[in-house]
A and B are shown apart, each in its own frame.
Chain A
Amino acid sequence: MRMIRRAIAALAAAATMAAGLRLAGGEPVERQSGGWRPLDGPDLT
């Protein structure tokens, strides 16, 4: 019984820590722009 309680406590602590990290977050990833275009003309010479 004590082992189960410890496992639950450990899981709860891990979940709390993960939630904290996710909410606090880090530096946001810089937005990148661009797109795909067919490779032709001078790109294929």
Chain B
Amino acid sequence: MRVARHLLSGTASGFPGAEVHLVVRDIDPERLTGALGVLEAAASEGRVEVEHAPFPEQLDADVVVVATPRGTQLAAVESALAAGSTVVLSGDGLAETVAVTRLADRAGEQGVSVVLGAGFAPGLSGVLAAHARSWFDEVDEIHIAKAGAGGPACALVHHRALSRLSYDWSEGGWRRRPGGSGRELCWFPEPVGPMDCYRAALPDPVLLHHAFPEVGRITARMAATRRDRLTAPLPMLSPPPVEGGIGAIRVEVRGRRGVSQDVCVLGVAERPAVAAAAVAATTVEWALAGRLRVRGMASLAEMVEPTAFLADVADRGVVPEIFEGEHAVV
């Protein structure tokens, strides 16, 4: 919904929102009714259509944004690939992301861009890592941390991620460790501030390793409370909120600048759903403008030029921040 609003409104950088024609698909009729209500003005002009399941087999779109719940994304990507559309996937589940990567050969053969992890984290986190990397001569480590959930589906993925194996890249191999272990205090941009973060089944290391194969250590952690860790192996006890509160991402890059070792920390504090929508909409804008770098499957960090992309995302109200203090690069 937010992606649709972003796309219809256009941007200051010249994206023609008035020329966009959107088809919103959902299996939930209530959500579709809500979408029509929110996008009423554009719908009355005939720029927005809604389609309820079972969806028409014919898919005629330049770009397909897959922002569906866990378990439905692989089929949606397959269907978009069959139609030859560029795909923007904003999923954050490890298993599903890995399942989608198995379609990489097909995307490459077709010459269709499939952007993996076009959300808050993975997504903006990878672009921040790519941006920070440009300040180093050599990068040794990338560490991602995230806090908060975008909505009920996202909260459920996070809940399960804490009880599953995490995959960190370490010196030439994948290290599997239990989710919920490896506590580390991470300082996010205000107002989120410091939070304890733990290993979890997150796709960030997989996508970042693909983007930066030369980096020796890549880890990802997620903020969690004692209750989150205790209840992680159980079904979700309390229903997640409709919309998550403020969240944040933090990207720490360590490496060599000249003759000295240095560290750079970038972050963003925003409601995860808002940030993810801004990132997905900007990715669509870049896809329509032919600015994506890869014809095939790749993560967002590989697909876009990071500096210009971050500036475009900032135009949509999601402003990256840098930590300035001891050992800071800038």
Contact = CB atoms under 8 A, between A and B. Distances in A.
Interface of A: 32-40, 43-45
A36 to B, nearest CB: 4
Interface of B: 189-190, 266-267, 307, 310-311, 314, 319-326, 328, 330
Contacts of B311: 44
A34 B321 contact: no
Contact of A33 (B267, B319, B326): B326
B310 A36 contact: no
Contacts of A32: 325-326
A33 B149 CA distance: 29
A40 B266 CA distance: 12
B6 to A, nearest CB: 20
A45 B134 CA distance: 11
Nearest to A31: B326
B327 to A, nearest CB: 9
B190 to A, nearest CB: 6
B20 to A, nearest CB: 26
Contact of B310 (A33, A35, A37, A44): A44
A38 B320 CA distance: 6
A40 B314 CA distance: 9
B125 to A, nearest CB: 14
A30 to B, nearest CB: 9
Contacts of A35: 323-325
